[in-house]
């Protein structure tokens, strides 16, 4: 077997190694500059910054929202995953698809719909939902699909012999489930919690429109109003510490889990639980989240869009063009950066390649507002000619959504036999030549999927665009945000509707790449 190891293969690997190192540096260097900017404060001022009572309030608000969303998403996702895998519910595949569709609604669009549909003059006869309750409601209903998908896959992989063994000890069906099967769901539960938690900690649009002060909202206020840039840097670092703590806690709990399985080989399928007279309740429960999180927002958006003045259509198409002009090159660049990282991780696994791969995922795990702030400080110090330009926005969007492109590309590369490259290299091809002549043409599906995911993510992205877009560069996301802040709900409707329709492609790509439901 031919393996490109050793220094004599280094020239052939440079086309992979150099871009991978530049990509890793693009994620790590701005964070280092964020730390340096925060340390500009003298010791006395630093103590005053860290001990401000406002920090404790922000921490309390952020943690309260995090815990509340995790609790509510569990109450939604766990019974829904059970219904669509372990019962005789008809149309389980269709319901599974419908329950995933709320992923198409960005948080700030959900917040806009909630503000426009409730309160005086709203579609629903309800008081306006703002603050903690509004943020909890919106974030729970748009993030529960992450937990649902994770739990659904875990339910499908459960070994029925565990519950059968518990039943032989005299336990009833529900007690057997919670004593024997539920512990097997904990890894999926923790993985789903991690994804939901990262979204809650990084969310900016929802909490800002609903006027609920978390770290992200406070960072934006401090920076945009130019109150205290050093304080904004420290708030960003505190938010990064919270994110790191969440990652550490999830890893710690996963390492301590010990899962059981009886027998060998593939597990058997469970016998579906008959719902009987509770079937109508099951159907109602399965329909409720898609109706609340998708059907109602779309109805409200279409209803409000009818009031949109015709003379404003030029601004709509301009914002759509601006969104595409930033998102398309960012997606292309993200796929280009993912290729060398995936090649090194799959074909040349080593501590160094794994470290570079983790850096790529770090760029996605970092809250977008903190990541954008780090790049602002970095560009002002080191690349001032880039600050406030479209290329900088494209670059940061590509770094942030690199992880979404890396996953499909890496998965596609795993499916390409190594022997094809080895055969090409026995004919005199370099590692780079073998990759581009033989392997790359077989990666197109993964590359297209990764590019589509990055494109949709970039179109929806709000905080990075708000902070880094050139002056006067309005996108669909920034238009929704600015109009909603001014309570101009009819003007915001078509922009929000376009985002929701474009974002629906995210779900299509997800199902297309997974090919399993």
pLDDT of residue 430: 64
In a domain, 264, yes or no: no
Strand-pair partners of 87: 273
Q: 122 and 152: one domain? A: yes
- Statement to judge: residues 26 and 57 lie in one domain: no
Return the pLDDT at 437: 67
Give the CA distances from residue 492 to residues 119, 180, 306, 477, in Å, rounded to whole numbers and listed in that order.
17, 50, 11, 10
Whether 137 maps to a domain, the answer reads yes
The pLDDT, as a whole number, for residue 357 is 76
Asked whether residue 235 falls in the same domain as residue 316, the answer is: no
189-192: which pairs have CB atoms within 8 A and are 24 or more residues apart? 189/74, 189/147, 189/150, 189/151, 189/154, 190/250, 190/253, 190/254, 191/150, 191/250, 192/73, 192/77, 192/146, 192/147, 192/148, 192/149, 192/150, 192/151
Return the number of other C-beta atoms located less than 10 Å from residue 36's C-beta.
13
Q: Are residues 250 and 361 in the same domain?
A: no
Judge whether 336 and 399 are in contact, CB under 8 Å. Answer: no
Structural domain boundaries, residue 239: 52-256+281-288
Q: Looking at the structure, tell me whether residues 139 and 198 fall in a common domain.
A: yes
**Alpha-carbon gap, residue 47 to 315, rounded angstroms:** 47
Q: What is the pLDDT of residue 1?
A: 43
pLDDT for the residue 76? 94
Cα–Cα distance between 423 and 440 in angstroms, integer?
A: 15
| 107 and 83 inside one domain | yes
pLDDT at residue number 3: 47
Is 7 domain-assigned?
A: no
Residue 171 is given by DSSP the state -
Per-residue confidence (pLDDT) for residue 127, from 0 to 100? 82
Place of tokens 């964070």: 31
| Domain match, 313 and 406 both | yes
Residue 13 to residue 431: CA distance in whole angstroms: 7
Here the contacts of 113-117 (C-beta below 8 Å, separation 24 or greater) are 113/296, 113/297, 113/300, 113/301, 113/496, 114/138, 114/210, 115/209, 115/210, 115/484, 115/487, 115/489, 116/300, 116/304, 116/484, 116/489, 116/492, 116/493, 117/296, 117/300
Judge residue 258's burial from the number of C-beta atoms within 10 Å of its C-beta, 0-12 exposed, 13-18 middle, 19 or more buried: exposed
What is residue 210's predicted lDDT score, i.e. its pLDDT? Answer: 92
346 lies in some domain:
yes
Chain centroid to CA 68: 19
Digit-by-digit pLDDT tens for the chain (517 residues) are: 444 444 345 445 556 666 777 777 777 777 777 787 777 777 777 777 777 888 889 999 999 999 999 999 999 999 998 888 878 788 888 888 888 888 878 888 889 888 888 877 777 777 888 899 999 999 999 999 888 988 887 777 766 656 556 556 666 566 666 666 667 777 778 878 888 988 898 888 899 999 999 988 888 888 777 656 777 778 888 888 888 888 788 777 767 765 544 444 445 566 777 777 888 888 898 899 989 888 888 888 888 887 776 666 778 889 999 999 999 999 999 988 888 888 777 777 778 777 777 777 777 778 888 888 888 888 888 888 998 899 999 999 999 888 888 877 777 777 666 666 666 667 666 666 666 666 667 677 778 878 887 888 899 899 999 989 999 899 999 999 998 888 788 888 889 888 888 877 666 555 655 554 4
> Could you tell me if 420 and 443 lie in one domain?
yes
> 163 and 59, same structural domain?
yes
Residue 487 CA to residue 15 CA, distance in Å, equals: 51
| Sole residue written with tokens 């670092």 | 237
Q: Is residue 212 one of the residues assigned to a domain?
A: yes
Q: Tell me if 456 is assigned to some domain.
A: yes
Is residue 26 in some structural domain? yes
Same domain, 349 and 393: yes
What b/e string do you get for 307-325 counting C-beta neighbours within 10 Å, with b at 16 or more?
ebeeeeeeebeebbebbbe
Same domain, 368 and 438: yes
Quick check: is 300 in a domain?
A: no
Does residue 110 share a domain with residue 33? Answer: no
Total count of domains within the chain: 2
User: How many whole angstroms separate alpha carbon 7 and alpha carbon 21?
Assistant: 17
Q: What is the CATH number of the domain that holds 96?
A: 1.10.3720.10
């Amino acid at each position: 077997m031919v393996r490109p190891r050793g220094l004599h293969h280094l020239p052939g690997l440079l086309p992979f190694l150099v871009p991978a190192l530049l990509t890793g540096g693009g994620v790590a260097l701005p964070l280092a500059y964020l730390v340096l900017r925060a340390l500009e404060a003298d010791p006395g001022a630093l103590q005053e910054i860290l001990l401000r009572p406002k920090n404790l309030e922000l921490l309390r608000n952020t943690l309260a929202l995090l815990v509340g969303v995790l609790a509510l998403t569990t109450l939604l996702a766990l019974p829904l995953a059970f219904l669509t895998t372990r019962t005789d519910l008809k149309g389980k595949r269709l319901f599974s698809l419908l329950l995933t569709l709320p992923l198409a609604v960005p948080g700030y669009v959900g917040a806009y719909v909630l503000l426009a549909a409730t309160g005086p003059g709203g579609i629903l006869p309800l008081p306006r939902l703002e603050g903690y309750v509004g943020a909890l409601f919106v974030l729970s209903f748009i993030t529960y699909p992450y937990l649902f998908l994770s739990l659904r896959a875990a339910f499908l992989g459960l070994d029925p012999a565990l519950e059968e063994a518990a039943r032989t000890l005299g336990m009833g069906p529900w007690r057997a489930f919670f004593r024997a099967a539920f512990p097997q769901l904990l890894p999926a539960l923790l993985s789903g919690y991690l994804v939901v938690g990262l979204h809650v900690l990084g969310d900016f649009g929802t909490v800002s429109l609903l006027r609920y002060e978390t770290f992200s909202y406070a960072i934006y206020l401090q920076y945009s109003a130019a109150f205290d840039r050093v304080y904004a840097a420290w708030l960003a670092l505190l938010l990064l510490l919270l994110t790191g703590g969440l990652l550490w806690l999830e890893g710690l709990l996963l390492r301590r889990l010990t899962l059981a399985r009886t027998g060998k080989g593939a597990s058997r399928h469970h016998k579906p639980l008959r719902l009987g007279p509770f079937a109508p309740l099951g159907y109602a429960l399965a329909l409720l989240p898609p109706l609340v999180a998708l059907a109602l927002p779309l109805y409200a958006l279409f209803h409000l869009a009818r009031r949109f003045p015709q003379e404003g259509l030029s601004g709509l198409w301009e914002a759509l063009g601006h969104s595409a002009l930033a998102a398309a090159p960012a997606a292309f660049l993200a796929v280009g950066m993912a290729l060398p990282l995936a090649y090194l991780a799959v074909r040349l696994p080593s501590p160094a390649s794994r470290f570079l791969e983790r850096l790529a995922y770090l760029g996605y795990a970092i809250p977008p507002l903190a990541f954008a702030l780090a790049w602002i400080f970095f560009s002002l110090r080191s690349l001032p000619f880039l600050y406030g330009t479209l290329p900088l926005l494209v670059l940061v969007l590509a770094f942030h959504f690199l992880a979404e492109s890396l996953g499909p590309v890496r998965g596609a590369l795993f499916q390409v036999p190594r022997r094809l490259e080895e055969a090409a290299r026995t004919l005199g091809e370099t590692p780079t030549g073998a990759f581009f002549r033989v392997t790359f043409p077989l990666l197109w599906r993964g590359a297209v999927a990764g590019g589509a995911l990055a494109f949709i993510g970039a179109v929806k992205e709000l905080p990075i665009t708000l902070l880094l877009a050139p002056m006067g560069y309005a996108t669909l996301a920034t238009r929704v945000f600015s109009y909603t802040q001014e309570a101009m709900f009819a003007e915001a409707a078509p922009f929000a509707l376009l985002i929701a329709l474009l974002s629906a492609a995210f779900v299509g790509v997800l199902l297309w790449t997974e090919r399993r439901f």
